[in-house]
């Protein structure tokens, strides 16, 4: 890439992985754009977290988000990157971290630590991405949004919640 700017999006369109051009305001672009926001929020969380286990888990989530974005930007291709194996892995990771936490007895107010607060932000952005992806799937019959992708987004928000708690707990114990 010789220049950062290409000028191909100056008229309000963007290119999908297939080369197809779509409006930047399309439901598809809204969905994968919000997934991109999750990735940035997780990057902020990773930069602010103290616990190395949490940082390593965040990197794994960021790699999964790249696959989710690829699926959403694929223009309804039949090939899908996010599979049920990703859902199973997410559930295993959630269970692993959750087992190390005390039982939840009350609501959590975000902001105990910078890392935990950033993870909570990532959780809420993930919930928005899930809603936008559902709207996209409902709006376009050839959206190519799989059940595994939707479940992955749902589990991702759950995992952000658990990681936020884990980060806050581990930081409090230092």
Tens digit of each residue's pLDDT (9 = 90 or more) over 120-162: 999 999 999 999 999 999 988 778 899 999 999 999 999 999 9
Res 71: pLDDT: 92
Indicate yes or no: pTM above 0.85.
yes
Joined together, the tokens standing for residue 29 give 């672009």
Tens digit of each residue's pLDDT (9 = 90 or more) over 84-99: 999 999 999 999 999 9
Is CATH 1.20.1200.10 the right assignment for the domain spanning 23-101+108-173?
A: yes
């Amino acid at each position: 890439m010789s220049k950062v700017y290409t000028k191909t999006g100056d008229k309000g369109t963007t290119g999908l992985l297939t080369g197809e051009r779509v409006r930047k305001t399309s439901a598809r672009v809204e969905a994968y754009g919000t997934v991109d926001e999750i990735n940035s929020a997780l990057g902020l969380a990773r930069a602010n977290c103290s616990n190395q286990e949490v940082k390593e888990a965040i990197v794994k989530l960021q790699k999964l988000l790249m696959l989710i974005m690829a699926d959403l930007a694929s223009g309804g291709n039949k090939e899908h990157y996010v599979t049920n194996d990703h859902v199973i892995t997410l559930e295993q990771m959630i269970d692993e971290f959750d087992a190390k936490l005390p039982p939840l007895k009350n609501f959590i107010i975000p902001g105990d630590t910078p890392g935990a607060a950033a993870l909570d932000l990532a959780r809420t952005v993930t919930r928005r991405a899930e809603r936008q992806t559902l709207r996209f799937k409902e709006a376009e019959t050839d959206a190519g949004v799989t059940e595994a992708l939707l479940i992955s987004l749902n589990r991702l928000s759950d995992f952000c919640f658990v990681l936020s708690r884990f980060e806050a707990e581990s930081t409090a114990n230092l």
